[in-house]
Amino acid sequence: MTHLASPHVPIRPEETVITAEHHWQDDPSIMERMNYLTYDYLTKIAIALEGWAVLFQDPADGRYWELTHPLGHMHGGGPPRLCNITADEAGRRYGV
């Protein structure tokens, strides 16, 4: 899990998973960062056919990031999760 003082922090090279799963209700800066990354920083590439996952690309390093809501039992799928995926995975899942 990533916890940073400012929510407007780009993705660091060592990050592979960014999630709000554990502290999203206690720390609003985590959700602020997720919103910043998905609305202002990352480039949206594709939406999965079922509509529950979105593929983004980091403009700084070209890495692919998949946005999911893996806690399906919660309302709205629960808190968001960004996971770095390979170009091969992006191609298989999204046809890019």
Write the pLDDT tens digit of every residue in 56-90: 999 999 999 999 987 765 555 578 899 999 999 99
Instruction: Provide the pairing of β-strand 43-47 with 54-57.
Output: antiparallel
> What percent of the chain lies above the pLDDT cut of 90?
57
Total structural domains in the chain? 1
Rg (CA), the chain: 13
pTM reported for the whole predicted model: 0.83
- Euclidean distance between CA atoms 70 and 68, whole angstroms: 6
- 25: tokens are 């209700």
Domain of residue 22: give its range: 17-94
Q: Enter the tokens of residue 35.
A: 């919103």
Least confident of 35-44, 46-55, 71-80: 71-80
Encoding tokens for residue 2?
């990533």
Residue 41 lies in a domain: yes
The two tokens of residue 42 are 């990352």
In a domain, 8, yes or no: no
DSSP one-letter code for 10: P
Within a domain: residue 76? yes
What pLDDT is stored for residue 1 in this prediction? 45
